[in-house]
Amino acid sequence: MTTATADPFAKFKAAQREVWSVFAPVEIATTIPAAKLVKFAQIASGQKMLDLACGTGVVAVTAALRGAKVSGLDLSPVLLERAHHNAATAGVEIDFTEGDAEALPYPDASFDVVLSQFGHIFAPRPAVVVKEMLRVLKRGGRIAFSTWPPDSFPGRMFGFIARQLPPAPGAEPPAPPPQWGDPNIIRERLGAAVTDLTFDRATLTMPSLSPRHFRAAQEKTIGPLTKLVDSLQNDPDKLAQVRAEFDAMARDVLDGNAAHLHFLMARATRA
């Protein structure tokens, strides 16, 4: 496994651990998509399941309520605290662990199912996270995840943020998260290690009164956007420009006082 001292992305992951700590309020919007992913993954009672990059645990709790024996892992202790609260409120027992998706603290073939909702896509090295997800998955087990296609609003937003926040000089850039929303790239990354690769599409609906309301909420809860806004506090003209561009993108997905965000689900069987 990769160790923290040898990991070229250690600083990147430390930053991710901090910036995503503000994500918890978004759980209200990701709760229904969590149920869609759990159903798509065909979770059944008694299965051992890992919710990778579990955040506040909405997928983990949904699966546990179906009778699955669930573990959840995330980088953020703040989000895991909320996940513990959600599990306790629901009356289910889940083994939550703080950890790195690229160095999973589980033995080989530990799980019948490995899921990730908009989470593993932020691991900087797709080959490493795929290897780890498949390593802890039993042969014949299922891997399933939800991702943002490049042409979805979140996919465009993360590309927009990346253009505004160039990587540190000399640092290897992490893989762009929206690449995980391209079925062709998913096929390439999973390769011959899986069979029966299947896709489906769905929509996350987020109530929003106006583009500015939507942007204000995103600035408070989407870590990389929060970081971008903070970095521009001393450059009001640039900040105004960034916000205007964001509002223009948001208008494309706002209808009926809600943002409609399309996402992709993928499911496959471990060969």
Q: Which amino acid is at 43?
A: I
**pLDDT tens per residue, the chain (271 residues)?**
444 457 889 999 999 999 999 999 999 999 999 999 999 999 999 999 999 999 999 999 999 999 999 999 999 999 999 999 999 999 999 999 999 999 999 999 999 999 999 999 999 999 999 999 999 999 999 999 999 999 999 999 999 999 998 766 666 889 999 999 999 999 999 999 999 999 999 999 999 999 999 999 999 999 999 999 999 999 999 999 999 999 999 999 999 999 999 999 999 999 9
pLDDT confidence of residue 27? 97
Q: Which amino acid is at 168?
A: A
Is residue 125 domain-resident?
A: yes
pLDDT confidence of residue 4? 43
pLDDT confidence of residue 195? 98
Is residue 230 domain-resident?
A: no
pTM value? 0.94
Query: What is the spatial distance between Cα 192 and Cα 186, in angstroms, rounded to a whole number?
Result: 12
Is residue 193 domain-resident?
A: yes
- Give the count of domains, the chain: 1
Q: Are 36 and 57 in contact (CB under 8 A)?
A: no
Sign of CA dihedral 202, 204, 210, 216: negative
Is residue 140 domain-resident?
A: yes
- Looking at residue 175, which CATH number applies to its domain? 3.40.50.150
pLDDT confidence of residue 3? 43
Is residue 60 domain-resident?
A: yes
Is residue 241 domain-resident?
A: no
Is residue 96 domain-resident?
A: yes
For 167, the domain range is: 10-204+263-270
Closest of 34, 10, 247 to residue 144, by C-alpha: 34
Is residue 5 domain-resident?
A: no
127-161 in b/e burial notation, b at 16+ Cβ within 10 A?
A: ebbbebbbbbbeeebbbbbbbbbbebbbbbbbebb
Q: Are 120 and 92 in contact (CB under 8 A)?
A: no
